[in-house]
Amino acid sequence: MIRVPRKAGLPVNHSLIIGTIPKKEEIDMEQWQQWFQEKQVERTINALKKNNFEAVFVPDSKAACEEVLKQIPDGATVGVGGSVTLIQAGLPEALASRNIQLIWPIRQGKTPGEIFDLIRKSFSADVFLSGTNAVTEDGKLFNVDATGNRVGAMFIGPRKTIIVTGVNKIVKDLDAAEKRVKEWVAPQNAKRLGRKTPCVETGVCADCKSPERICNIYVTLAKKPVRTDVLVILVGEQLGI
């Protein structure tokens, strides 16, 4: 057993000896953490709106799917960027029930050529769906891509972009966002995608020169793009990487 010694000279707290002994049931960490997260979400939503993004909070994945479907008109063309969040939230199944034309390059393309053709088509979609790597408390969206099709379609081409993200991706500022991607997101995504990079071997970003590196394009959406409406759906769950 590890015991941290009491520093010499510090008084003994006799109230803990002769008074009521605190019980672990008195510690409601979940309640305090929920309060803290609610305040964080409130700050983030307000900041996104000040930056001219549309922004809503929903409690769970089911509500997120309902909000996404509400935003997509019947018969629309919908492009999808690579996203663990969208899959976790159940959006593929929800979209399958709609009369829409879905463009999902990584899932539908069988060859590199087919994938690239679908990527080009996704830029002319009516709606583009994606996750995000980080959202800052001052209302910015930060993303890192290997190819650039996901981040590019967020701000040019589609008439509307819908970004779905869990509360776990909220960070203080852009410095924290980049740190999150470098230390947490990128190594896991490289592992998920089967890349042969140093971070897959060590779990630590080496800012590598590997041809299979996935951190090639860094994009910050600081304000709403001129020609594209952007809706951020913040979900009260831990979603994505």
Model confidence, pTM? 0.86
- Other beta carbons less than 10 A from residue 233's beta carbon: 21
- Cα distances (angstroms) measured from residue 27 to each of 30, 40, 85: 9, 21, 32
Instruction: Say if 1 falls within a structural domain.
Output: no
Single-letter amino acid code for the residue at 154: M
pLDDT confidence of residue 34? 87
Instruction: Say if 5 falls within a structural domain.
Output: no
Helical H runs in 53-185? 61-71, 84-88, 91-96, 105-108, 112-122, 149-155, 174-180
pLDDT confidence of residue 241? 94
Instruction: Say if 221 falls within a structural domain.
Output: yes
Instruction: Say if 10 falls within a structural domain.
Output: no
On the CB side of 222, how many CA atoms lie within 13 Å of its CA? Answer: 2
Rounded CA-CA distance 2/18 in Å is 25
CB 173 within 8 Å of CB 135: no
- The 3 state secondary structure assigned to 184-218 is HHHHHHHHHCCCCCHHHHHCCCCCCCCCCCCCCEE
- Indicate which CATH number applies to the domain containing 221: 3.40.50.10420
Instruction: Say if 85 falls within a structural domain.
Output: yes
CB 166 within 8 Å of CB 136: no
Overall domain count for the chain: 1
Rounded CA-CA distance 70/16 in Å is 57
With 0-12 / 13-18 / 19 or more C-beta atoms within 10 angstroms meaning exposed / middle / buried, residue 37 is middle
Instruction: Say if 8 falls within a structural domain.
Output: no
Instruction: Say if 83 falls within a structural domain.
Output: yes
DSSP lists the bridge partners of residue 143 as 219
pLDDT confidence of residue 10? 52
Helix (H) or strand (E) holding 48: helix 29-50
pLDDT confidence of residue 12? 53
Instruction: Say if 24 falls within a structural domain.
Output: no
Full residue range of the structural domain in which residue 39 is found: 35-46+53-235
Each residue's pLDDT, cut to its tens digit, for the chain (241 residues) gives 334 344 445 555 555 555 567 677 667 778 888 888 899 999 999 999 999 999 999 999 999 999 999 999 999 999 999 899 999 999 999 998 899 999 988 788 778 899 899 999 999 999 999 999 999 999 999 999 999 999 999 999 999 999 999 999 999 999 999 999 999 999 999 999 999 999 999 999 999 999 999 999 999 999 999 999 999 999 999 999 9
Rg of the chain over Cα atoms, rounded to whole angstroms, equals 22
